[in-house]
Amino acid sequence: MSNNINTLENLNIKRILERGSGKEIYRDESAILVLDEVSKAFMIACDDADFGMNVLEKNAAKDISLLFTSNKELGARVYEKYGFTGNMECFQMAYLKKGIPVSNESLSFREATLEDFPFISAGYDLISDEELKEVISRRGIVVGRTDEGIVGFIGEHLEGSIGLLYVLPQHRRKGYAAELEKEMIRRHLSKGFIPFGQVEKTNEASMCLQESIGMTKSDNTVFWMWK
């Protein structure tokens, strides 16, 4: 059922509840609506789109600016009704193996600081500078380096998913992207969380990367929308 927070598609909801930032606004056997107090994202899971719309209309703010759902029909209707301006359809990827991914020790790692902001913002522009600074301040970005210097970085979005992956052009095709992601997976596992992230359904290169390091792909797509 799509309102089951233990499915791959709904790991976002599971994460924010487990870490304590998710505020349950509505929950019954048919649906769950949660507000993440860190990312300010509303997240809704339910099987019936009509019921989901009713839950949102009665329980959510009218000026929702960021929303996640695993119900495709509901996502399309919410996008239209609430005047969203951008959206993304993705597969959820999760590390469900029992073992911890092993590093090949080609990189060393450290947490990014705000001193790294100019470098990070130059390489990753898919979120606002304000949000990027908040991610860094929350110790959410890890920098990878060799003896020659920084090769790239990876991060954790405000709602808990792995992303913000970037490798400098001169260091690509050396396996560093996989090593960066494995490091973030290890960090999530050490905190007792299931590592997960989203990949746009048309991004075959990223999908191959995820599967090469042992990530499992969801059967169905999930949907983000924003203003």
User: Would you list the domain boundaries of the chain?
Assistant: 8-90, 108-193
Token reading at 7: 């499915």
pLDDT given for residue 5 in this prediction: 80
- Name which of 14, 56, 1 is nearest 219 in CA terms: 1
Q: At what angle do helices 72-81 and 49-59 cross, to 10 degrees?
A: 40
pLDDT tens-place string over residues 58-70: 998 788 999 999 9
Rounded Cα gap, residues 106 and 201, in angstroms:
30
* CATH architecture of the domain formed by 108-193: 3-Layer(aba) Sandwich (3.40)
pLDDT tens-place string over residues 7-39: 999 999 999 999 999 999 999 999 999 999 999
- Name which of 91, 154, 145 is nearest 124 in CA terms: 154
pLDDT tens-place string over residues 96-128: 999 999 999 999 999 999 999 999 999 999 999
Output 148 or 6, whichever has higher pLDDT: 148
pLDDT tens-place string over residues 167-221: 999 999 999 999 999 999 999 999 999 999 999 999 999 999 999 999 999 999 9
> H or E stretch including 156?
strand 149-156
pLDDT given for residue 60 in this prediction: 85
